[in-house]
Amino acid sequence: MTSLRQLVVFDFDWSMADQDTDRWVFEVNAPEIRRWIEDNEGKIQFTDMIAQALRDAHARGVTRAQLENALRTMPFHPAMVRGITNLKAAGNTTFFCLSNANSVYIDVILKEKGLIPMFTEIITNPAQWDPSGLLVLRRRVDPSGPQHACKVGCSANMCKGEELEAFFARHAPTYDRVVYVGDGSNDFCPALRLRSQDMLLCRTFGGLHKRIAREGGLKCEVVYWTGAWEVEEVFKTRLT
């Protein structure tokens, strides 16, 4: 097993992390903006909505330090840190993070957990702090340029299936096994690209589980999990 060239792909919110970054930072610092997100989801493209929420929070005086502190204290299971660290130490696994959150949120949290060196690539929406302390967030796919061609229902900001295929193209030869850890409906598109020798680690709550039940069509093995300790166990017993 250990001679296999193996790739583990991680969704971030509710998959690697035990919370949703986009909602959590407002739950901690500006619950009225958290309510606004709840009331407007589906009416505005999600990345654009979070960019607006960040501008509103900045206008109300929420600081960079407050946002970063919320991220560093966000629930993140120690078993997930252990599972990733031990599997990486076994030597034959590449880790790729593919997320609809943003580069700043993921960077702050992975630094806090000591996981930055484990990840070969992080593909997500670009964000950066401006000098005033505003976090400026943009879509991965620029709305003014060519759009992705996804027919599976990925959000306009990114098609995770296309991003997964692009990762494979950048990192030839073909991986012997791909393991994808996800929970959301936008993880269904990349899951459809997995082969019979691959594995989907699907969290039991969330849109991915529902789409698999309703739409089917997956070629890979599906392993369901609820707590991060189960992911650690699969990494140890099946992937090492």
> Closer to Mg ion at the Cβ: 68 or 183?
183
Give the binding range for Zn ion (CB under 5 A) out of 39-47, 107-115, 147-155, 166-174. Answer: 147-155
Cβ partners under 8 Å of residue 82, min gap 6: 232
Residue 56 annotated in active site: no
Q: Going by C-beta distance under 8 Å and a sequence separation of 6 or more, which residues neighbour residue 172?
A: none
- 161 binds Zn ion per the rule CB under 5 A: yes
| Residue 121 C-beta-side C-alpha neighbours within 13 Å | 14
Check residue 159 for interaction with Zn ion (CB under 5 A): yes
Output the CA angle 90-209-47, nearest 5 degrees.
85
**Minimum distance from residue 160 beta carbon to Zn ion (Å):** 6
Q: Examine residue 184 and tell whether it contacts Zn ion (CB under 5 A).
A: no
Question: Under 8 Å CB-to-CB from 79, ≥6 apart: which residues?
Answer: 227, 228, 229, 231, 232
133 vs 207, beta carbon nearer Mg ion = 207
DSSP classification of residue 216: -
Q: Is 187 part of the annotated catalytic residue set?
A: no
CB of 200 to Zn ion, least distance (A): 15
Which of residues 51 and 152 has its CB atom nearest to Zn ion in the complex?
152
Q: Which amino acid is at 222?
A: V
Q: Would you please indicate which residues are annotated as catalytic (active-site) residues? A: 11, 13
Q: Which residues bind Zn ion (CB under 5 A)?
A: 150, 152, 154, 159, 161, 189
